[in-house]
Amino acid sequence: MDDAATTAPDTGPRRDAWAWRLLATGLSFSVFGVVGFLLGLFAVPVLIAIPGGRGSRRQRIRRLVRGAFRAFIGFMRSMRVLTYELQGFERLGRPGQLVVANHPSLIDVVFLIAFIPHAGCVVKRALWRNPAMALVVRAAGYVPNWPTDAMIERAADALAGGQCLIMFPEGTRTQPGLPRQFHRGAATVAIRAASTVTPVFVSVQPTTLTKHAPWYRIPRRRPHFSLAVGVDIDPAPLRDSMPAPRAARTLNEGLLAVYAGRLGGR
Low-confidence residues of the chain, pLDDT below 50? 1, 3-7
Residue 3 resides in a domain: no
Determine the Cα–Cα distance for residues 112 and 265; give it in Å rounded to an integer.
22
In a domain, 138, yes or no: yes
What is the residue range of 204's domain?
Answer: 15-263
Asked if the structure places residue 106 within a domain, the reply is yes
Overall number of domains in the chain: 1
- Residue 170: what pLDDT? 94
| Cα 230 to Cα 252: distance, rounded to the nearest angstrom | 16
Q: What is the CATH number of the domain that holds 80?
A: 3.40.1130
What pLDDT is stored for residue 128 in this prediction?
84
Whether the Cβ atoms of residue 139 and residue 44 lie closer than 8 Å to each other: yes
Determine the pLDDT at residue 80: 98
Determine the pLDDT at residue 4: 46
Q: How far apart are the C-alpha atoms of 7 and 39, rounded to whole Å? A: 36
Residue 105 lies in a domain: yes
pLDDT number for residue 266: 64
**Integer Cα distance of 78 and 58 in angstroms:** 30
pTM > 0.85? yes
**What residues does 167 pair with on adjacent strands?**
100
Let me know if residue 10 belongs to a domain. no
**What is residue 144's predicted lDDT score, i.e. its pLDDT?**
92
Own/partner pairs, 64-72, CB within 8 angstroms, 24+ separation: 64/39, 65/113, 65/136, 65/140, 66/113, 66/114, 66/117, 66/118, 68/35, 68/36, 68/39, 69/110, 69/111, 69/113, 69/114, 70/114, 70/115, 72/28, 72/31, 72/32, 72/35, 72/110, 72/114
Residue 5 forms part of a structural domain: no
In tens, the pLDDT along 211-234 reads: 999 999 999 999 999 999 999 999
Burial class (CB in 10 A: 0-12, 13-18, 19+), 18: middle
**233 vs 257: CA distance, rounded Å:** 13
